[in-house]
């Protein structure tokens, strides 16, 4: 499986900051889940457990193989904007997204 995912410096810095306030051994998990008005949505969470189908990035970020396949070729960034701070995923596989930008279709 191709692990062609890029993380910007802003994304890594924010993940480092978020993990620093959690217990030692906590991972930052990125996954793609079914839901939203367009079919899929990104999920960001913390996890203490490395599962057998997880891939590890930067020794602190976990992505399961199914999500990794959907994220292949993506760039993950963190942006501070007037409307708020959030992670942004530039995913070349996305065909369309909903009006609010929370969900997408492939």
**Contact call for residues 40 and 32 (beta carbons, < 8 A):** yes
**Domain 6-96 grouped into CATH 2.60.300.12:** yes
Question: What are the distances in angstroms from CA 9 to CA 46, 53, 101?
Answer: 20, 26, 23
What are the tens digits of pLDDT across the range 5-45?
999 999 999 999 999 999 999 999 999 988 777 678 889 99
List the chain domain ranges: 6-96
Q: Please state the pTM of the whole predicted model.
A: 0.86
- Tokens 């929370």 correspond to 102
């Amino acid at each position: 499986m191709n692990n062609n995912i890029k993380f910007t410096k802003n994304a890594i810095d924010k993940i480092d900051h978020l993990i620093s306030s959690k217990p030692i051994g906590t991972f930052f998990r990125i996954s793609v889940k079914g839901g939203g008005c367009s079919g899929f949505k990104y999920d960001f969470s913390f996890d203490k457990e490395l599962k057998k189908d997880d891939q590890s990035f930067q020794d602190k970020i976990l992505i399961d193989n199914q999500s990794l396949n959907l994220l292949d070729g993506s760039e993950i960034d963190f942006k501070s904007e007037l409307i708020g701070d959030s992670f942004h995923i530039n995913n070349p596989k996305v065909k369309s997204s909903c009006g609010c930008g929370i969900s997408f279709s492939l």
